[in-house]
Amino acid sequence: MAPGVDSTGIVDPLELSEAHERYLRNRSETVHLTRTNRYQNGSLRDRTVQVTKVTPDRDRFYTIVSVNGPKARFFGAGGRGEYWSDGDRLLQRLVRQNQSAYGVVEPEDYNPQLSQPLIPSPGGGQVYFLSTLGTFDLTNQFTRNGTVYYRLKLREITQPDALAASESVYRPRNVSLILLIDQNGVLRRFVLSYTAVQGGTTLDVRLTGEHKHIGTTSVVRPTWYLRAINETG
């Protein structure tokens, strides 16, 4: 079984989160994160998709953030931001209404801490948070390409206030959460959905995350690297 998991479900969230962190430490990966907010009539309010490729040391990364919907954040509907770093400098390309703008933060001004929101942490904090939201049932176990996977489904949420605080929402309900854990304790995929009030509006929220291409991800310069250097040099 995966660390912290037995035939009944999750029995030790700390053991599980530590196993996740231990396995991903010093390994490259590609992380997909998607947030979709819909109005009660089913229409899209906004969607944000973030895909990050990161090296084992977490110094070099390439992140693309795409947004859509009438209330899209950051770049406006159909816009996106691309961020690349070699560990010394940060390059960015912002696309709004099919117009691109470039920027470079040079080594003497680059503070890697400012880039942390763009780099998924290898730590197990997210795993611990999700696995302590309530009680889980082990609903399926299967093997794919030699790796054993465990599908865990939230039976009952016991920490709705923690979810509300983390998501900055009011009174989350209809909470659904599915975790896909591999034999090493790595959270390969999660799907979290709930209904809650945010800014006075009731929304149906769906969050998904995936850890992919673990140990095989490479980070290369983006095609717009020289243009960013030349236009801001």
209-218 pLDDT, tens digit each: 999 999 999 9
Structure confidence at residue 195 (pLDDT): 97
Segment 8-36 shows an average pLDDT of: 94
Structure confidence at residue 87 (pLDDT): 86
How many CB atoms neighbour CB 39 within 10 A?
14
Q: Is the pTM of this model over 0.85?
A: yes
How many CB atoms neighbour CB 198 within 10 A?
15
Structure confidence at residue 123 (pLDDT): 65
1-5, 33-37, 74-78, 179-183: least confident range? 74-78
Structure confidence at residue 2 (pLDDT): 95
Strand ranges in 40-162 using DSSP code E only, listed in sequence order: 44-54, 61-68, 80-85, 90-96, 99-105, 134-144, 147-157
Q: Which domains does the chain have, with CATH numbers?
A: 5-232 (2.50.20.20)
Tens digits of residue pLDDT in 112-157? 666 666 666 666 788 999 999 999 999 999 999 999 999 999 999 9
Segment 177-186 shows an average pLDDT of: 97
Structure confidence at residue 76 (pLDDT): 77
Segment 89-111 shows an average pLDDT of: 84
Strands 9-10 and 29-39: unpaired
Contacts of 137 (CB under 8 A, 6+ apart): 8, 9, 152, 153, 155
The mean of the pLDDT values for the chain is: 91
Q: Which of 231, 182, 212, 159 is nearest to 30 (CA)?
A: 212
What CA–CA distances, in Å, run from 150 to 1, 18, 75, 182, 187? Answer: 8, 17, 37, 6, 10
Structure confidence at residue 115 (pLDDT): 66
